[in-house]
Structure 1
Amino acid sequence: MREAKIAAWFFFVVGAGVSLASAWAAVTLASPSPTNSLLRNGLAQVLKTAIGEPAGHVAYHLFWAALGACVAYLAVRVLKDQSR
């Protein structure tokens, strides 16, 4: 079960990092970084066209912040399960 703890810590750190970085980008109203990923670029464009330039950028970053928080939460649940 040591491997499960290591994997859970890894996903906790990655999820928390993504969540914090995305939340900071939403607070500073940063535009999404240009990327070659169709998912990220498409999501940014759809949100920007649907709700406008600054609100679309904030929604984009909040989406990634929520996704990172979910990953961190699931990792904490695994760590709690492993401690029993």
Structure 2
Amino acid sequence: MPKSSPGFRRYRCADGWLFPACENEAQWKALAKCLGRPELAYPGAWDAARASPPRGRLGRLLEGIFAADPAGVWLKRLQSHGVPCERAE
């Protein structure tokens, strides 16, 4: 994914920052599953996510989800689902 989008940007967690880096549809679907939001993996969701502004409605939804838990918890969850991510500053 060449530009920032809801699936490829930094999020504030309860104790720091995390950067999920979804670069394809499979990773986006894995992110949706990990977040407990399967409705975000509907047909065409990947294209919609790539076209969404990073801090638009979808980005704000993810901001609220990530803010609920510490970055280390999210890092383990996302990695266990195959979502590329790392801690961020």
Same-fold status (TM-score > 0.5): no
How does the TM-score come out when normalised to structure 1?
0.28
Richer in helix (by share): 1
How does the TM-score come out when normalised to structure 2?
0.26
Kindly indicate whether structure 1 or structure 2 has the higher relative contact order, using CA contacts under 8 Å at least 6 residues apart.
Answer: 1
Q: Which has the larger radius of gyration?
A: 1
